[in-house]
A and B are shown apart, each in its own frame.
Chain A
């Protein structure tokens, strides 16, 4: 009985996470990270279109960290934590950079021919919520997407 409970618990943990991805601030890590996130989201119950949207949002968020929080410096730590629940997915992105909040960089109103801030626009379009919380030594971004929207599986 104990074993069965343990297996069930492990199976539940597999579905819900948390899944932690630790990468460094190298743009070469963007594509594999995006693919991993999309795969996790597909396994977590999102359809391909929603998983792709989440993958793009994560791509843009990590690219912002590389470019702005770390100023393009390679080898700096970036950590992603992915959790699923009945509502959808929560993705935490932590960096130990200069504390740049991309919301402060975005030029209002957006001009299509000045693509600065497009990454943030994509993140806002693709996810249901984005919360940037400055940390003493960097930034924490929490992104959420619900499965209950029309685009969920």
Chain B
């Protein structure tokens, strides 16, 4: 990482930390709110978690400023993650049958 990049990262670490704290408070706060639907509550809860995850991965892990091989590696991981995640779902929905 160049010294210019280092200075840039340094300036945002504290802001990211504060944003993560605020989002954690928000996560807990919305869990006490009655949205009338558990699906909506899960969607909102997970959206906040994804934003927090993006802040950690993008800034603390420097994924917003990484080299291409890491992006390729992670893209493959995401593909396999979804395969892993959804194959059992297909099974559960009886879309996969064993002869």
- A pairs with B: no
B residues whose Cβ falls under 8 Å from a Cβ of A: none
